[in-house]
């Protein structure tokens, strides 16, 4: 299994990234803060304003290091992309699948199936671990509804229908999401998904994690030779990384949702770290964002056995592994795309 | 794995001083300078070969010496640091 390298997060607003030899050097007011050899890095995510030098962008693109710029609050701004690597034949085939409604449906079906399975797994796991603290009946009802949705995905005939099933399962899943929050109930509660901007603490955490995950999925797809913009379930829209969003579906529940729940339930975050702005948007303060990043990076280094390949892999390397499996499926090497199924 | 690289380059001549600068530059490229001529490099076996090749091309084996200490993957238990010049671990979360 490929080794997962580290991701450099730059959270200081006035940090400037530059290149020196084979090092990324972080400067602040022309003072060197840190230098890190690039071969240790998988990606760089910066939340700053001052940006990065063209030389560094070029070198990152050359080495396949994903360099992503997010706004100070974690909203995606842009990503530096180099010359396309990989196989043109693979990418053309991907476009053909993406253009063909039936073939897109076929691929999307596996992805949605994986997503629903993982959502249910999160609920079942929570019930198993904390059966005393929950209203188990509601949760098992929701799990039941998701199970029905999974069987329905096999029969649906259009993408529209598939999205409907996905939405129904999401309703069931998010309908009981609040029950999974066990600590600090007054500050962390769930009353539905809000985004752009997120209007409560839990949504702010989720949105933040989703944008980190999008970065990882897009980087995984690009390095597997796929185009992260041409999706199957998500249709084309300028500037939207549809395939990255597709690939992300399988990981949302087991990676982001569980992560957010666990940092809330273990009280690694608390309400004082969140600020509400005039437009009711909720943002995290610098310390909280930092704590979340540290916890996220630690989570990504935990190892599990990949259910399909049977090999040990870090959580962080899973988007890449799935991207490679997806590439094999598109190429026709395997008959079906095996989504990541978390147990 | 973690590899510790240390070197001694003979600086009596101008050519020697040039070699010293070049060796140092290559080491900075791949590792973290923990002391003046001591570098900690977090690398895989392939990268290690590349570093070795590059350094061997620069040095003069009659006058200079290079040492590579392979500390493996369990290096954290093998390093103890006392005093100034704190280093950081490139495999830990890197948040600045």
pLDDT level of residue A1 (50, 70, 90 thresholds): low
Percentage above 90 pLDDT, chain A: 2
Q: What is the pLDDT of residues A133-183, one digit of tens each?
A: 777 788 888 888 888 888 888 888 888 888 888 888 888 888 888 888 888
Question: Rounded to an integer, what distance in angstroms lies between the CA atom of residue A214 and that of residue A220?
Answer: 10
B96–A290 CB contact, under 8 Å: no
Least CA distance to B50: which residue of chain A?
A39
CA distances from B58 to A80, A265, B13, B36 (A): 34, 55, 15, 18
Using alpha carbons, select from A60, A76, A73 the residue that is nearest to residue A17: A60
- Determine, for residues B42 and A40 on separate chains, whether the beta-carbon distance falls below 8 Å: yes
List pLDDT tens digits, range B34-85.
888 899 988 888 889 989 999 988 888 888 889 999 988 888 888 888 888 7
| Beta-carbon contacts below 8 Å between A and B | 57
Could you give the CA distance from residue A42 to residue A6 in angstroms, rounded to a whole number?
5
Whether the CB of A31 is below 8 Å from some CB of chain B: the reply is: no
Question: Please, is A282 exposed, middle or buried when counting C-beta atoms within 10 Å of its C-beta (0-12, 13-18, 19+)?
Answer: buried
What is the sign of the dihedral through the CA atoms of A101, A105, A111 and A112? positive
pLDDT one-digit tens code per residue, A5-60: 888 888 888 889 999 888 889 888 888 888 888 888 888 888 877 788 999 988 88
Residue of B nearest to A10 (CA): B96
For A14, the closest chain B residue by CA position comes to: B96
Q: Give the pTM.
A: 0.72
- Chain B residues in contact with A23 by the CB 8 A cut-off are 28-29
Inter-chain CB proximity B94 and A290 less than 8 Å:
no
Contact by Cβ (8 Å): A275, A285: yes
In this prediction the ipTM stands at 0.79
Write out the two tokens for A77.
């701004």
């Amino acid at each position: 299994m490929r080794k997962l390298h580290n991701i450099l997060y730059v959270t200081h607003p006035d940090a400037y990234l530059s290149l020196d030899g084979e090092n990324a050097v972080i400067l602040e007011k022309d003072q060197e803060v840190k230098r890190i050899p690039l071969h240790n890095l998988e990606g760089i995510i910066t939340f700053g304003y001052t940006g990065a030098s063209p030389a560094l962008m070029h070198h990152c693109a050359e080495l396949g290091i994903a360099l992503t710029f997010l706004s100070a609050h974690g909203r995606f701004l842009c990503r530096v992309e180099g010359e396309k690597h990989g196989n043109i034949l693979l990418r053309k085939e991907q476009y053909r699948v993406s253009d063909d409604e039936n073939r897109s449906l076929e691929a999307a079906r596996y992805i949605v199936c994986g997503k629903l399975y993982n959502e249910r797994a999160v609920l079942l796991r929570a019930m198993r671990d904390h059966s005393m603290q929950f209203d188990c009946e509601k949760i098992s009802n929701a799990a039941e509804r998701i199970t029905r949705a999974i069987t329905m995905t096999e029969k649906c005939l259009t993408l529209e229908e598939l999205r409907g099933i996905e939405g129904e399962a999401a309703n069931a899943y998010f309908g009981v999401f609040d029950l999974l929050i066990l600590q600090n109930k007054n500050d962390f509660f769930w009353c539905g998904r809000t985004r752009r901007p997120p209007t409560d603490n839990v949504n702010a955490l989720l949105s933040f994690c989703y944008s980190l995950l999008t970065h990882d999925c897009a980087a995984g797809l690009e390095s597997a030779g796929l185009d992260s913009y041409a999706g199957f379930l998500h249709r084309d829209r300028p500037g939207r990384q549809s395939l990255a969003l597709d690939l992300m579906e399988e990981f949302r529940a087991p990676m982001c949702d569980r992560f957010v729940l666990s940092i809330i339930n273990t009280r690694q975050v608390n309400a004082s770290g969140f600020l509400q702005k005039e437009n009711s948007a909720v943002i995290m303060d610098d310390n909280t964002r930092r704590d979340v990043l540290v916890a996220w990076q630690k989570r990504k280094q935990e190892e599990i056995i990949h259910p399909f390949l049977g090999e040990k892999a870090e959580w962080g390397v899973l988007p890449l592994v799935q991207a490679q499996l997806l590439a094999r499926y598109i190429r026709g090497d395997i008959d079906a795309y095996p989504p990541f199924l978390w147990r | 794995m973690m590899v510790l690289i240390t070197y001694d380059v003979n600086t009596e001549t101008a050519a020697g001083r040039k070699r010293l600068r070049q060796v140092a530059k290559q080491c900075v490229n791949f590792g973290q300078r923990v002391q003046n001529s001591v570098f900690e490099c977090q690398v895989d076996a392939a990268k290690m070969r590349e570093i070795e090749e590059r350094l061997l091309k620069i040095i003069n084996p009659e006058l200079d010496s290079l040492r590579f200490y392979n500390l493996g993957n369990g290096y954290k238990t093998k390093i103890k640091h006392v005093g100034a010049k704190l280093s950081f671990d490139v495999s830990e979360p890197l948040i600045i």
